[in-house]
Structure 1
Amino acid sequence: MPRTILITGAAGGIGRAMVDAALAAGHAVAALDRDAAALAALPAHGLLHPVLADLATEQGCAEGMAAALARFGRVDAVVNNAGIGVSSLRPDAETRLPGIEELDAATWDRFFAINVRAPMLLLRAALPMMRAAGWGRVVNNTTSFRTMLRVLPYGATKSALEAASAVWAAELAGSGITVNVLIPGGPTDTPFIGADSGWSREAMLKPAIMGPPLAWLLSEEAAGFTGQRIIAARWTGDPAAPGVARPIGWPELGADAVWLQGGR
């Protein structure tokens, strides 16, 4: 059944691959991005609605959702792909990582606004529609655990989104709304990684790998599949294949906590 999919960071790189996959599956797509030129370069398609939105602001998130609703009347799925990375600080930041002295409050706040707050605001806006329909999909692009533990402030924001995804999946269990994480699995050949990273573009993963697992997560076949993170580079079409999926976050560390007797 065709659905309406809201995809952020949709005008290039991984987002563009996600848009292509959703359209190919027959869905309508509200493509949110802050790059007007890149949005204008998206191919014309009757089911595609480009939306200029600055997700760094609460108003931008609200306006982006409002534009999607004005065009399609509802949103069935939210794909939180938009993000800001350390290459935005300087072109070589992927390999010469930013230190704490380099990260002022404004930088920290901007990273968290785009990478963590925007996904929360968009889900919060879409949730009443999903609950009323008894159907919804939330797909969040976080990052590898290696990056979370090495790269600030990007890794910290993605750790936060990973944790939020686990909480949302548990909160919405049994509602018909699934929450999953989809990551490439490694450095991906997009402008998100600066030209001075020193990494071989040829050796990087390609954005198109995100398309097939996203199409599956948006499908009826994925009903009941929730609270999982899929590594797109290992996707074979079978989410149960070894190494493809695992629970969101670090549930195995939950036993480390000492709770009050009788507490949850």
Structure 2
Amino acid sequence: MGHLDDRTAVVTGGSTGIGLATAVRLADEGAHVFVTGRRETELEAAVKTIGTDRATGVAGDIAQAANLDRLYDAVRARGKGLDVLVANAAVAEFMTLEQTTQDHFDQTFAVNVRGTLFTVQKALPLLNDGASVILTGSTSADRGMAAFGAYAASKAAVRSFARTWSTELKDRGIRVNVVSPGMIETPGGTAVNGGEEAMPAVRAAAASFVVAGRMGEPEEVAAAMAFLASPEAGYVVGANVYVDGGANQV
């Protein structure tokens, strides 16, 4: 018996990396998981990885309202409401203040902030009382790293959303929390860091300042997501759970 038997979950940005690992873990706990992604080939592969009897793929971009409507139409058709929502989809591109363009800013906030807000807002009619909403944040929201300006600000907004929404949804027993990953080895992170050839240097850098002495794995973030999704986290509300190997903690 899993913690989420017969529950319904949504994981946005669930085709690869942290989102995929989270979807697999929630399915392992017994949930039927609706997974979104912008690239249909990757989404189809993700559904096969999770299990075609345990997952439903809905292609789309969370920055597009019609795509969110199509996602929630699919959830509604299952007829069991929604118990777990992991708003994980995000984009990451890095520019200094001097380099920042309107397109960079608009794209970052369209997905990471506006997309997250409407992912949750449009789910409200489906969310069952006592549901768990989990937002993917980032340790960069707490740090002043060069070229992370727009991205870090977008993740700071996500952290703020969790506080406000926790208050607004408390009468329905809906818990809203954030999971903030640190340096996690994912396909997206590899691409942003310059590809596979750059990863030995990235891993060495992580070893030098991460207390755990290494980069994290997507499954380690998924474990935190699964805890917050479960009834065992019933007294955890409005929290920001860091999965960063201690990098931002000591």
TM bucket (normalised to shorter chain) is 0.7 to 0.9
Q: Which amino acid aligns with 1:18?
A: T
1:24 to 18, 25, 28: 28
Is 1:222 matched with 2:233? yes
**In structure 2, how many angstroms separate the alpha carbons of the residues matched to 1:149 and 1:166?**
22
Matches within 5 A, 1:49-128: 49-71=56-78, 73-86=80-93, 93=94, 98-128=95-125
| Counterpart position of 1:187 | 183
Map Cα deviations across residues 82-125 of structure 1 (whole Å, 9 max, x no partner). 11012xxxxxx5xxxx1223222222111111111112112112
**In structure 1, how many angstroms separate the alpha carbons of the residues matched to 2:120 and 2:98?**
33
Map Cα deviations across residues 214-251 of structure 1 (whole Å, 9 max, x no partner). 1121112222321111123569xxxxxxx7xxxxxxxx
CA positional deviation for 1:129: 2.8
Identity of aligned residues (%): 26
In the alignment of these two chains, the number of paired residues is: 223
1:207 to 206, 210, 218: 218
Q: In structure 2, do the counterparts of structure 1 residues 157 and 146 end up closer, same or farther at CA, with 3 Å as the change threshold?
A: closer
Structure 1 residue ranges without an equivalent (≥5): 87-92, 236-242, 244-264
**In structure 2, how many angstroms separate the alpha carbons of the residues matched to 1:65 and 1:129?**
8
Q: In structure 2, do the counterparts of structure 1 residues 171 and 234 end up closer, same or farther at CA, with 3 Å as the change threshold?
A: farther
**In structure 1, how many angstroms separate the alpha carbons of the residues matched to 2:97 and 2:203?**
27
Structure 2 residue ranges without an equivalent (≥5): 207-213
| Counterpart position of 2:12 | 8
**In structure 2, how many angstroms separate the alpha carbons of the residues matched to 1:225 and 1:136?**
12
**In structure 1, how many angstroms separate the alpha carbons of the residues matched to 2:225 and 2:216?**
16
**In structure 2, how many angstroms separate the alpha carbons of the residues matched to 1:113 and 1:70?**
28
Question: Aligned to 1:120, what secondary structure does the other structure show?
Answer: helix
RMSD (Å) for aligned C-alpha atoms: 2.2
Question: Aligned to 1:136, what secondary structure does the other structure show?
Answer: strand
Residues 25 and 222 in structure 2, CA contact (< 8 A), matched pair in contact too: yes
Name whichever structure is richer in helix by fraction. Answer: 2
TM-score when normalising by structure 2: 0.81
